[in-house]
Copies of this chain bind each other. A is one copy, B any other.
């Protein structure tokens, strides 16, 4: 095999020369911004393929236009962790749709703990960013991005003033499902919550701890429960997963004396775990214990049950975020959008045991 001397890739200028036209003309042949006679276009295209030119260099084009066609999605920690939440994926799909009008792709950025100041956030060629979830660090990421002058949209997070956010009626939705359980006659209700802060500690949530909680979703959903059951105790899981729900469920159901008659979980995954814990204890759902979830994602693993839950419009949230980003890039004013969950009656809640 002959050692090829890397022959500098052809540039637009080479193509133009080969075709006997100016660079400007060659450029528009590829971008289509202006009319070009068929004869000229063919000549340019022919020259291009003769030289193995595959189109304008994206980096050069980006520089000139001031757009890279990339939207960053900032996730915390490991990808695995972020995708553990099943709503993330549909949301990203919606987002991909939403930014499709920009011809943009989605850049996954881990909000790195490396505090060398120069995270990827500073150096990534992106047009805008979408922050998912909220945390203390998210806040500083946001500052970095804004100081770069990039449009930012926050999904389910505490954006500062002026940052459009895509939000959910967490509190109202939680209250709605709590009222559902209340109507069924339950008085002994416990909430199983998501993490309250980045320490992700398991266990009972004291008023003290609640006051220190930093995860809005958790606080809001719990607030909704408290709107209906002001004294409902709450126990926190470390993450949103079936296993964590199982752990929380075991803790709640261990003692037959103090056992609640209904559990309001802050995610479907947690709810499934609680149901599994109930099965372990020989409790029937919903006869002996009612369990409700939150999210409305497709969950496997509860047999013929349909989980009673609040369905959140995940794809729509993502799409909305994408659309707002697109607006901002067009120079229009973006708005914060508030989405509403829909109650889905399932077979996992019923009247309390007498």
Expressed in whole angstroms, the minimum distance between the Cβ of A223 and any Cβ of chain B is 29
**Interface: A66 (CB within 8 A):** yes
**If A54-B147, A54-B148, A110-B96 touch, does A69 touch B124 (CB 8 Å cutoff)?**
yes
A80 near B89: Cβ-Cβ < 8 Å: yes
A242 near B300: Cβ-Cβ < 8 Å: yes
**Interface: A90 (CB within 8 A):** yes
**Interface: A105 (CB within 8 A):** yes
Q: Which of A55-63, A170-178, A200-208, A210-218 contacts B (4 or more CB under 8 A)?
A: A55-63
A122 contact set on B, CB distance < 8 A: 54-55
- In the complex, what residue of chain B is closest to A67 when comparing beta carbons? B59
CA distance A122 to B56 in the complex (A): 9
**Interface: A258 (CB within 8 A):** no
**Interface: A14 (CB within 8 A):** no
**Interface: A68 (CB within 8 A):** yes
CA distance A303 to B148 in the complex (A): 50
**Interface: A125 (CB within 8 A):** yes
B9 near A149: Cβ-Cβ < 8 Å: yes
**Interface: A234 (CB within 8 A):** no
A60 near B58: Cβ-Cβ < 8 Å: no
A79 near B58: Cβ-Cβ < 8 Å: no
A93 contact set on B, CB distance < 8 A: 78-80
- In the complex, what residue of chain B is closest to A246 when comparing beta carbons? B300
A166 contact set on B, CB distance < 8 A: none
**Interface: A123 (CB within 8 A):** yes
**Interface: A222 (CB within 8 A):** no
**Interface: A160 (CB within 8 A):** no
Annotate A247-268 by CB proximity to B: 1 below 8 A, 0 otherwise.
Answer: 0000000000000000000000
B68 near A96: Cβ-Cβ < 8 Å: no
**Interface: A120 (CB within 8 A):** yes
**If A59-B68, A83-B83, A300-B242 touch, does A103 touch B123 (CB 8 Å cutoff)?**
yes
- In the complex, what residue of chain B is closest to A147 when comparing beta carbons? B54
CA distance A68 to B55 in the complex (A): 17
Q: Is the interface of A mostly helix, strand, loop or mixed?
A: mixed
Q: How many copies does the complex hold?
A: 2
**Interface: A353 (CB within 8 A):** no
CA distance A260 to B91 in the complex (A): 41
Annotate A81-121 by CB proximity to B: 1 below 8 A, 0 otherwise.
Answer: 00100000110110010000001111111100000001010
**If A69-B120, A80-B89, A124-B69 touch, does A108 touch B106 (CB 8 Å cutoff)?**
yes
- In the complex, what residue of chain B is closest to A112 when comparing beta carbons? B100
A291-314 contacts to B, CB under 8 A, are 300-301, 303
Expressed in whole angstroms, the minimum distance between the Cβ of A301 and any Cβ of chain B is 3
**Interface: A163 (CB within 8 A):** no
Given contacts A96-B110, A104-B120, A125-B125, 18 further A-B contacts (CB under 8 A): A54-B147, A55-B122, A56-B123, A58-B124, A58-B126, A59-B63, A59-B68, A63-B63, A69-B125, A70-B70, A70-B107, A70-B125, A79-B93, A80-B89, A92-B108, A105-B107, A106-B108, A300-B300
**Shortest Cβ-Cβ A-B pairs, 9 listed:** A301-B301, A58-B125, A242-B300, A59-B62, A59-B63, A79-B93, A106-B108, A63-B63, A59-B125
Chain A interface (Cβ < 8 Å from any Cβ of B): 9, 52, 54-63, 66, 68-70, 72, 78-80, 83, 89-90, 92-93, 96, 103-110, 118, 120, 122-126, 144, 147-149, 241-243, 272, 276, 300-301, 303
